[in-house]
Each structure stands twice: as structure tokens, then as C-alpha cells.
Structure 1
Amino acid sequence: MIDSEFAQIREVSAHYIGNRANGDSLRLSEAPIEVDDERIQQLLRTYFLSNFGTPAFYTFTFSNEDFKLNPIYQFASQIFKEPGSFHENSVNLAKHLYEATQHPNIKPGELYIAYFQSVEVQNDNVEAIGIFKSENKENYLKLSHQFSLHADEGINVKKLDKGCLILNREEDEGYKVLIVDNINKSDAHFWKHDFLNIKPRSDAFHHTQNFMQLTKQYVEDQLSEEFSVSKADKIDLLNRSMEFFRSNEEFSKADFEVNVLGNVDVIESFRNFGNDFMANNNFDVIDHFEISAQAVKKQARIFKTVLKLDKNFHIYIHGNRELIEKGFDEVTGKHYYKLYFDNES
């Protein structure tokens, strides 16, 4: 999604963010880091940009008020309009992150602020501001030319802990924002909500992702409570849902209900569950939208189509539900599945 080959890192500032809740300090640098060396530029491009893999765009918000009150939105706007204010606003960002670090389990670490030129995002060449936090270090060994061995620790440039890329696009709508957040359970809302204060954009990716999450949740949590269905039936419904999204470019809720759910009672149950699901998660309720292939690919990883039988068998169900039958053997007192197939491979 991001082509960083020709991206230029105009400036980088670094600060140390301790855990305020634990009494740790905030250490601020006095000037940007020198990054003129091309090898350093290449390593930083890899570290900063290579982990943004899906087009899940967000936008700044501010507790249901005017997004322009969001401090990060304000700092980013100043940098884009006055590049000479970059380091000053990197300090402001560091102070804002330090103030947001209220949970004792949030890890301290280095904060990098970068100002990019010529970042290509979905074939759009843009300026961008990056905010990156490094929390985890890795040990490494280095053998010198004199064959002495040294141990140290540093950053793995292919593993970004937390990141935010603010694109200089659609300023009047809160900017287009991308994030990376390798979440710890203790700081699940920290980066996205407490610090950045962002919300998903109303676009094809999020509409597709939200509806597929709704479908998965309904099948797993609600369907068997209201209807007599087997595990194989639930997997079949997930398979048909996935096929619907893979084979269509436009989503129509009415078509989905008829072609995937079919049963009138199931449709009614699904609508009721969906209304609550969308409201509880603050998702937009959209009945027609363009299907995002990237979102479908991402959600396919969590659509489980494996039938697990005790600890002895796993049956992967990919197609025709009618080719698998469930029964009960009274002699052995055990359930069984009967599978029909043409060829064995």
C-alpha cells in the first residue's frame, strides 16, 4: 500500500517518554537528529513505513466535539503550514504523549517524530508526518574486525511497536491517518484513543470490515442460541458469507440477506443483532457500499472453517454443505460425520 522507495525523510526528532504513572521522567532533545547518511535514511524508511500494510484509514476526532480541538491535529497542521516549527511541535507531541501515559503497565520508550516528503500511498504522492514509539529492544552480538565480541541491544527495524502516519490530505475533514498498534492487553485503548484520539473513516475498507465482523459475531454468538444448527451449519454460513464478499464488488444488505441467510426468521434475528452490534461499537449503519478486497483478505484470516472433533480430527469445510452429514451411533454412543467425495489426493 505504501511505496517508500522515493520517500525522503526531511527531519527526525527523538525524545524519551517515561511512564508518568510510575513517576518516570520525560526527556526532550534540543534539536532534530542528523539523518543525511543514505544508509540511515534507508533503515529509517524500513522501520517507519514498512509495517503499514492495510488501507485502514482513520481521522482525528475530539470526544464528539470539533476535531480541530484535537492537539495532535493542531500540531500536525502547524508543521504542514510552517515546516520550520517541526522540532518545536515534536516537543509538543512528546509532552502530549507523556501526559496521556496514565496506566502503570504502559511501557516507556523512545518517541520518533518524522517529516516525510514524497510518500506514495495508494498511488498518491503526499507529504506526511510520522509518530513512532519504540518500546521493545532486542539483544544482538557484533564481532569487530579485531575479532572481539560485543553485546548490545537495539531496535529491530522490521518491528514497529506503535506508529501513526498523518497524510497531508483532507485537512478540513480531520486528515487521513494510518496507524500501527501492536497492542498489549494493558494498553488496549492507549495509542488509538487516549493519545491519538482517532476514529475510523467512513470508507469501503471499514464498511466491509465492520459488516464481516458483524456476520462472524452473529454466527458465533447468536445463531445457535435461537436456532437448532450444527457446527457444520455455522461453518457453511461463514463460507457462504465469505464467498459473497469475494464474488461481489458492491455490497447490498438486501442481497446478502436473501442469498446468504435465506431463512426469514434468521434474517430477522440477524437484523436485530446487527442493530445492537453497530450501536455498541459506534459503527456507521450502511446498507450499500463498495466492497474492499483488502478488508475481505484481512477478515478471511479470522473466519474459522475448521470442525474440531475431540482431539482426534480436524475437518476443513470449504464448499458444499450437503456433502457432510451428522449422525449418532447408538452402539458406540458416539456422534459421527459422514463425508461424500469423488477423489482422494
Structure 2
Amino acid sequence: MVTFFEASLNKISVHHVGNQSQGEMYALSEAPLQLKDDVIPSLLMQYFLKPFEKANEVYHLMHSSDDLALNEIHHFVTDVFEDNSKFHEVSEQIAKHLYSVSTHPNIKGGELYTVYFNQVQIEGELLDAIGIFKSENKETYLKVYPNEGGFAVDYEQEAININKLDKGVLIFNVEKENGYKVVVVDKATGGQDAAVYWKDDFLQLKIRNDSFNQTSNALGVYKNFITNKLDEEFEMTKADKIDLLNRSMKYFKEKETFDMDEFAEEVISNPEAITSFKNFKEQYEDEFDTKIADTFEISDNAVKKQARVYKSVLKLDKNFHIYIHGNKDLIEKGFDDGKAMNFYKVYFKEEA
């Protein structure tokens, strides 16, 4: 989704943002960071941009009033995209804005980096981008080096692992009127209440409703329906649930376009269960203000990602795992009165 082999780091400013609920302050630098050699920019590019190579979800900046002018980050980055000379001044405003939303006691303080990049590629298009990154977690590193005919060991505390970006966002200079194209990294720490501040309070994001997100949402809603809702209304075995999940994944892997009525007939089949699923989908759309279209182009990347969390394993106590990949009619559930235990009977032709 995002590549940076043609990218360059144009400007970078670093500030420190504490947690105001803990009595911590923010500290602003007086000028952009001066990079002394070619190695540091290369390391910073890896630290900042490599985590976005696997980012599939694209977001937009938004505001609950639907007035984008009220989104602080949208206002700040627009100033820089229109006048690059404002970069450092705007980076200070961004740090102050982050400080203003850092009120949960579990939010960690850390360095805030604002970076201007040239030629970052997203969805095949080379664009300028503004990156905002925060390092919250520090590590201790050992250094071994030659010394007087042998070796010596030293260490460095409070150092940053360039392979572990805590929080980051790239805002691309395109689709300004929609809230720009935005991709985000958020390694949440401090519990769920503290985790929402980066995406929800600081950035104020809404997910772009493209084929990737339509596919992800449809598969996610269906999985929740099967695992959490269906057996409230119907008598279902775990094998039945796994079969329904497998059939849905098969549909999404084989089809190029999703059609709600076709999916319901081919995968769910039961008219009462179909009605229940459609009601469940509508409740999801209302609760999360996210519309899942009745037809959309299926995203292969979204299918692959969701396939990782679709479970096809039937766990029986701590003794057996049965992997169900095909015809559920070849597995039967029963109860043995003598042993007072459940059992499964599995039919097969050959033993591999």
C-alpha cells in the first residue's frame, strides 16, 4: 500500500510531549533538527516509514460536526502543504494539540516527531506527505566494542528501537476536501481507554469506505454474527459454525463481486437465519455509522487478512483439535451414555 524507495526526508522537528494529567509539561525545540550525516536520515526513514508497508486501511481526517475546518490536524497540515516555510511553527502547534488531548493517566509521555517527506508512494501515486510520530517506549541496548586487545561492554538506556514504532500517521497531500489520504500505526499501550486518544482524539479519523474496508467489514460482521449471535436463535454445534465460516470464506475467495442476496442464499441458506443476519448487519451499521453496501468489489488483500482470524479448528477439551476445511456432513456429533461424554464421528477415505 505504502512504499518509500523513492522517498526523501525533507524536514524534521522534534518536541517532547508529556501527560498533563500527571503534571508533566511539553518541551518545544527552537528550530528543525539538523541531520549531521547520511546515515541518520536513512535510519529515520526506516523507523518512520517501514511500519506502513503493510498498512491496508486508508482513513480520512474528519470532525463530528462534518466541518473539516474544525479538525486541528487538517488545519495544521494544510498550512504546511500550502506554505512549507511554516513547517516548524506548525510542528509546535501539533505538539501543543497532542498535549491538550493527553489527559488519560495511562498515556505515556515521549518525543513527538513531525516530518515532511517527498515522493512517498501510496496506491501507485507519488506524493508529498507529512508524518507525525511519537515514541513512547524506550529500551536498553548493550554495545560490545574492541578494547586493549580484547572487548569491552557498555550500555545505553532510554534508547529507541528503530524497528518498533509506537504511534505514527502519514497524511498525503491529496484529496484535501475529503480529509486527505491518511494511514496510521498505533501500537496501543495503557489500556483501551488510553488507546483511543491517538486515532480518535488527536487525529479524529474515519475509515475510507473502499473495497478493502467493505470486504473487511462484511467478513467481520458475518464472523461476529456466527460466533456471537446465531446460537441465541438457533441450535448450533461448533462444527456447524465452523462450516458456515468456511463457506463464507470460500465465497469471498471465489467471487470477484459481493452480492448480499447471493451471499445469503449460497452461504447461509436458511431464510430465518438470513433475516437475522440482515438485521444484525443493520444494527452494526447504525451503531458504528458505517454502511456496508449490498454489492461491492471484493478485495483480495482484505480476504487474506480476515482469513487469519477465521477459525476452522474444533477444540475438544485438551486432547484433540479437529480442523474442518470441507463437507461438515462427514463429521457427526453424538453422546455416549456409558462414558457420559460427547463424541464426534469423522468419515474419511484415506489416511495421510
* TM-score of the aligned structures, taking structure 2 as reference length: 0.95
Q: Distance in 2 between matches of 1:29 and 1:240?
A: 57
Displacement of 1:36 in angstroms is 5.6
Matches within 5 A, 1:180-329: 180-184=185-189, 185=191, 186-329=193-336
Q: Distance in 2 between matches of 1:342 and 1:12?
A: 65
Match of 1:73 in 2: 74
2:161 matches 1:156: yes
Question: Unpaired runs of 5+ in structure 1?
Answer: none
Matches within 5 A, 1:24-173: 24-35=24-35, 37-52=37-52, 53-146=54-147, 147-153=151-157, 154-173=159-178
The alignment partner of 2:182 has SS state of strand
Q: Report which stretch shifted further, 230-239 or 297-306.
A: 297-306
Q: Distance in 2 between matches of 1:341 and 1:31?
A: 71
Q: Distance in 2 between matches of 1:139 and 1:316?
A: 43
2:348 to 330, 341, 345: 341
Fraction of identical pairs, as percent:
47
Determine if contact 1:11/1:35 at 8 Å carries over to the other structure: no
Displacement of 1:37 in angstroms is 2.5
Q: What whole-Å deviation, never above 9, does each CA across 1:71-124 have from its counterpart, x for those lacking one? A: 100111111111111111111100000001010100111111110001112221
Question: Unpaired runs of 5+ in structure 2?
Answer: none
Q: Distance in 1 between matches of 2:255 and 2:68?
A: 35
Q: What whole-Å deviation, never above 9, does each CA across 1:207-258 have from its counterpart, x for those lacking one? A: 1111111001101111111001100000111111111111112111111111
Determine if contact 1:2/1:122 at 8 Å carries over to the other structure: yes
CA root-mean-square deviation: 1.2
Name the CA shift for 1:35/1:284 in 2 (closer, same or farther; >3 Å). farther
Q: Distance in 1 between matches of 2:82 and 2:112?
A: 22
The alignment partner of 1:337 has SS state of strand
1:151 partner amino acid: Y
Q: Distance in 1 between matches of 2:134 and 2:255?
A: 39
Q: What whole-Å deviation, never above 9, does each CA across 1:14-54 have from its counterpart, x for those lacking one? A: 11111111110101111111236222122111111111213
**Matched positions, count:** 345
Q: Distance in 2 between matches of 1:255 and 1:229?
A: 23
Match of 1:23 in 2: 23
Q: Distance in 2 between matches of 1:202 and 1:213?
A: 15
Q: Distance in 2 between matches of 1:56 and 1:168?
A: 17
Q: Distance in 2 between matches of 1:213 and 1:64?
A: 28
The alignment partner of 1:139 has SS state of strand
Determine if contact 1:54/1:294 at 8 Å carries over to the other structure: no
* TM-score of the aligned structures, taking structure 1 as reference length: 0.97
Q: Distance in 2 between matches of 1:249 and 1:46?
A: 35
Q: Distance in 2 between matches of 1:232 and 1:195?
A: 44
Q: Distance in 2 between matches of 1:249 and 1:57?
A: 21
Q: Distance in 1 between matches of 2:109 and 2:351?
A: 55
